[in-house]
Amino acid sequence: MNLQQKVYKKLLQVPKGQITTYGELAKAVGLKNGQRAIGKIMNKNPYPVIIPCHRVVMSTGKIGGYAYGEHVKTKMLSDEGVKIENGKILELENKLYRF
């Protein structure tokens, strides 16, 4: 199974209203320090419709990047119940999903 396959399957486990970090996701698929790899995969993700890559944020609590624009990612998250302020996740620890 490709890395991307594992990645999006893991990502699909994240319920609406919750989020995860690139690092956590990387570990979840077997990579200890593959955050950038995850970012690359998300950026070029083959299934933009079924993969909620907007639920992945940086470990620092910031939004991070997004293929269609950070503001779009920000809006989608707030629509799902994740409050964001100044590009940062509010109550990150409380919204984080543990695999």
Q: How far apart are CA 41 and CA 62, in angstroms?
A: 19
- Per CB under 7 A, the list member of 42, 77, 82, 89 interacting with DNA is 42
Q: Which of 53, 56, 77, 89 is catalytic?
A: 53
- Per CB under 7 A, the list member of 23, 76, 80, 84 interacting with DNA is 23
Enumerate residues 6+ apart whose C-beta is below 8 A from 43. 65, 67
Catalytic status, residue 95: no
Region of 11-19, 57-65, 77-85, 90-98 interacting with DNA (CB under 7 A): 57-65
Can you give the binding site for DNA, defined by CB under 7 A? Answer: 2-4, 21-23, 31-45, 53, 56, 58-60, 64-67
Catalytic residues: 53
